[in-house]
Amino acid sequence: MRPKIAFIGAGSVVFAKKLISDILQFPELSDCCISLMDIDPARLKVAEIMTRKIISKLGVKAVCEATTDRREAIRGAKYVICAIQVGGYKPATVIDFEIPKKYGLQQTIADTLGVGGVFRGLRTIPKILEIAQDIKEVGEPECLFINYTNPMAMLCMAVDHAVGVPMVGLCHSVQGTSSMLANFAGLKYEDVTFKVAGINHQAFFLEFKYRGRDAYPILFKLLDDPNFTQEKVRFEMMRRLGYFVTESSEHQSEYVPYFIQHGEEMISKYDIPIDEYLRRCEATLSTWEKTEADLLGSDGDIVVQSQSHEYGSYIIHSMETNQNRVIYGNVPNTDLISNLPHRCCVELPVLVDGNGLQPTRIGELPPQLAAICRTNVNVQELTVEAALSLKREHVYHAVMTDPHTAATLTLDKIWEMCDELIEAHQKLGYLPDYSPVKKGTGRPLSQVGNKVFASVVQPDLEDDTRYELLIDNQSDTPFGSQIEMELLETTEDLEKLEPIQAVVEAQKQVSQAFSLPEMLKSKEFTLFPISEDKRLVGQPFERIKQGVIKIPILNGNAPLEDADLNQHGIPIELRGHGEELATGHMAIAADQLYVSLQVHDTKISHNRHQPWEASCLDFRVGKSGMGSGVSRLFLIPQNGSQTLLDKLRNPAPQHKFETNVTGNGYSARGSIDLSSLNIDPKRESFLLSLNVSVGALGTAHGACRSEWKPESGLNQGFAICRAVE
C-alpha cells in the first residue's frame, strides 16, 4: 500500500520542490501519494503543478493531490511534513524586527531565540498544535510529524507537552557545518566523522575526526591564521568553549550576550549582519516571479536536482524499507542529555529503521556547553508555557531571560516592548488574548492587581482608642462590602467587633475612622481586616505594649551647642558583631532633631546608588501613623560640611551635618529639619529609625549593618519619639 505523505505549507515551493524530489527519487517511495496543503490558493496551485512536473520528469507512479483543507490533507497520512510561517514575512516578521529596533535591540535572523524567536513561537505554536491534533485524530496510527518550521525547539517541545504524537524536528545545520569544517580543514568529507549534541542551532561538535583521529587541532590552528576570516563568531565561541557550534555566526551572535550588545565596533569586527533575515526575505520576493515562471514553464520541463542532504526523505525511506540510518533530529530529552532539563527539546544522533526513531543517549555534555544551552532552554520553556497557559506574565519572563535582550534592555523597556509587540500581533489576529497581569509586573492581575487592600493606622500613637481603616481599591470594579475587624492574639476575651460598611469606587482610596473599646487600651493585640469579598487583602496591624522615647528640648529655639547635646541629650548606642558600632546623643531645639554620633568603621566605602550597601547613616523619619508616609535620608561620610541625601539620592539642603573622617571611622554631627517633614515635635509624636552601615568593624570583622533599638518605644522597627521640656 502506497504511503500518503502530507506537506503542510507546500506554498514554500522552493523547499517543497527539494523534499518532494528527494522522496520520489527513492524507487521504494516512487508510488507514494503526495498531499499538498497551503492556505494560499495561488501558491498551492504552483506547488501542485510543480509536483506533477516532477512526477512526470522522473517517470514515477506517484500521485499528487492538493487542498486548502489541512485536515483532509492529513487524513490517512503516514507522514506529515510541516514548513509553515505564520504571519509571513509581512507583516509578522517585519513587526518582530521593527518594534524591537525602536528600543535599541538589533537582530540578525530572529526566528529561533531572542524576542523575534519568542513572538514567532507564540504565533506559531497554536497552529502547530492544531496540526498535531489533526495527526492524532485523522492521521494513520503512529503517523510521524516531521517539522522543519522554526523556532524548532519551542514547537517540538509544545507538541510533546500538549499533544504527544510521534515527532522529529529537522534542520540542516549539522550536515552543512560538518561539510564546511571539513573544507576549512582541507579534509575529504567522506573521511570525516563526528558526534554532535545539544539543542537546535546550539548543538556542538563533541567529536570531529579524520579517519578516526582527532581533527580539532587543525580547527584550532586556524585561530592563529590572520588570513582566515570565516565564521568569526563561531570560531570565537570555539576558542572560548572548546567546541564548535552547529548554526551560523549570524544566528549564534544573537543567542549569546557577547557580540551585538557591545556596539558597532564589535558588530564590524565580527562581521555580524544586522537585519540579515529581512534582506533574505526581500531577495526571495524580488526573484519570486522568475521562480514561479521557471516552475510553471510552458514547455512542461522542470530541473530535478540529485537528492539533497535534507534528512526528511531518508527518514521516510528507512522507516518504509527498514534500512538503518543515523540522522540528527530534535526530540524530547528523556535522559538523553542528562545535564539538560527533562523533556526539553534536544538535537542529537537518531537511529532510524523500520521501528521508527531511536534517539542516542549522550549522557552529560561538557558543563560549559550545558550551561550555554540552558540559557536558551529557559527562553524556550517559558515561551511554551506562555503559549499553552495563555499567561501573559510568561511572555515577559521568556523575553527577560533571553541572553541577547537581557544584555541590551532594562526590565522596564522589556515590558514596554513586549506590550507593544503583543498589541501589534493581536490587532492582526496572530496572537490570542492572554490573562491580564498587574501593569509593569510579572504577576497575574487576578492574584495581586485586581485587589482591594485594607490596612489599619493609628493617627496618634499615644491614643489607643482611635484608629483609621484605609481602603485602597485597585480593582476595575467598585467595592461594597462589610469589613470585619478580627481581633487576634489579644489578652482579653472579647466579643466580635462591629463591622465597618465600606463603599469604594474602582481605582479609588478612602479612609474611615473607628474606635476600639476602652478595655483594649495599653493591651497587646493584632487587628486583621477580612471580608466575604475575595478581592479584599487585609494587612494585619500589630499593637504592642509600648512606651515613648522622650527626647529633651534643649536651649529653647537657639542652635544647640555640642556640650549641651552631649551632656543632656538622650544616649544612642548601636552594636554589631558583639562590638560597639556607634555611640552618641540626640536632642531637639528649634524644630531641629540634633544628632551626634561617633561611628567605628575601619573600611569606609561609598555607594551613592545603594548607600546601605556601603558606609552610611540611614534615617527614616515620619509622622505618627504609617499612612502619612516616612521620609528616608542618607548621610555618606566624607570630611567637611554636607547635606543628607533623600530617598532618590538627591541633596536635601535643609538637613545639615558636619563629618570628620579618621582612620578608625568618622564623627557626624548635625540636624534634621523636622518642620520640613511636616512634624511639630512639641505637639505630636513622630517615628524614627536609625541604621548604621559600615565597610568593616575592626580588623577581624567584615561589613556590618545595625539598627538602633532603644529599650522601649518600638513600633514595627520605628522608635516612637516625643519632644519634652
- DSSP sequence for 654-666: EEEEEEEEETTEE
Q: Rounded to an integer, what distance in angstroms lies between the CA atom of residue 8 and that of residue 16?
A: 10
List of domains in the chain: 452-543 (2.60.40.10), 549-724 (2.60.40.1190)
Distance, CA of 83 to CA of 39 (rounded, Å): 12
State the angle between helix axes of 114-138 and 392-400 in degrees (0 to 180), rounded to the nearest 10: 130
Strand partners, 8: 37, 82
Bridging pattern class, strands 500-504 and 452-457:
unpaired
Q: How far apart are CA 367 and CA 339, in angstroms?
A: 8
Other C-beta atoms lying within 10 Å of the C-beta of residue 234: 23
Q: How far apart are CA 712 and CA 147, in angstroms?
A: 71
Q: Which three cell numbers stand for residue 143?
A: 503517523
Alpha-carbon distance 344 to 335, whole Å?
A: 10
Phi and psi torsions of 190, nearest 5°: -65, -15
**What's the pLDDT score for residue 624?**
57
Helices (H) and strands (E) in the chain, counts: 19, 33
Query: What confidence score (pLDDT) does residue 663 get?
Result: 85
For residue 407, which amino acid is it? A
From the CB of residue 684, how many other CB atoms can be counted at a distance below 10 Å?
A: 17
Cell numbers describing residue 599: 561611628
The answer to whether the beta carbons of residues 418 and 396 sit under 8 Å apart is yes
Give the span between the Cα atoms of 462 and 376, in whole angstroms: 58
Q: Read off the pLDDT of residues 215-229 as tens digits, 9 standing for 90 and up.
A: 999 999 999 999 999
**Is the separation of the CB atoms in 38 and 5 below 8 Å?**
no
- In the numeric block, the cell 590552528 is attached to 221
Cell 568603621 belongs to which residue?
Answer: 601
Helix, coil or strand: residue 608: coil
* Residue showing cell 529639619: 673
Q: Is residue 474 within 8 Å of 453, Cβ to Cβ?
A: yes
Per-residue confidence (pLDDT) for residue 556, from 0 to 100 = 62
Q: How far is CA 601 from CA 294, 384, 571, 573, 697, in A?
A: 82, 51, 20, 15, 5
Question: Residues with Cβ < 8 Å from 227, sequence gap 6 or more?
Answer: none
- Side chain identity, residue 164: G
Decide: residue 514, CB within 10 A, 0-12 exposed, 13-18 middle, 19+ buried: middle
Inter-residue contact 501 to 545 (CB < 8 Å): no
Cell of 416: 514596554
* Ranges in the chain, pLDDT < 70: 298, 460-462, 489-496, 521-522, 544-547, 556-558, 624-629, 700, 711-717
What pairs with residue 504 in β-bridges?
479
* Cα–Cα distance measured from residue 203 to residue 71, given in angstroms and rounded to the nearest whole number: 34
Neighbours of 348 (CB within 10 A): 24
d(CA 218, CA 337): 28
| 597: three-class secondary structure by DSSP | strand
63 CB contacts (<8 Å, ≥6 apart)? 2, 33, 34, 55
Task: Kindly list the catalytic residues.
Answer: 172
Q: How far apart are CA 527 and CA 485, in angstroms?
A: 6
For residue 91, cis peptide bond before it (omega within 30 degrees of 0)? yes
User: Would you say the pTM of this structure is higher than 0.75?
Assistant: yes
CA of 490: how far to CAs of 67, 462, 519, 544, 547, in Å? 76, 19, 11, 10, 18
CA pair distance 428, 449, nearest whole angstrom: 28
Radius of gyration of the chain (CA): 35
Within 13 Å, how many C-alpha atoms sit on residue 285's CB side? 9
Write phi, then psi, for 650 (nearest 5 degrees). -95, 150
Query: Strands 144-147 and 79-82, how do they pair?
Result: parallel
Rama region for 561: left / alpha / beta (φ>0; ψ in -120 to 50; rest): beta
DSSP calls for 195-234 = EEEEETTEEEEEEEEETTEE-HHHHHHHTT-TT--SSHHH
**Longest Cα separation, the chain:** 112
Per-residue model confidence (pLDDT) at position 627: 46
pLDDT of 459: 73
Which of 326, 348, 319 has its CA nearest to residue 156?
348
Please report, to the nearest 10 degrees, the dihedral formed by the alpha carbons of residues 403, 409, 411, 414 taken in order.
-90
What count of other Cβ atoms lies within 10 Å of the Cβ of residue 600?
A: 20
Residues 268 and 265: their CA atoms lie apart, in Å, by 5
Crossing angle of helices 13-24 and 312-321, rounded to 10° = 30
Q: Cis bond leading into 151, ω under 30°? A: yes
Residues 6 or more apart whose CB falls under 8 angstroms from that of 534 comprise none
DSSP state of 483: E
Q: Supply the DSSP symbol for 255.
A: T
Q: What is the pLDDT of residue 579?
A: 86
CA distance linking residue 98 with residue 102, whole number of Å = 7
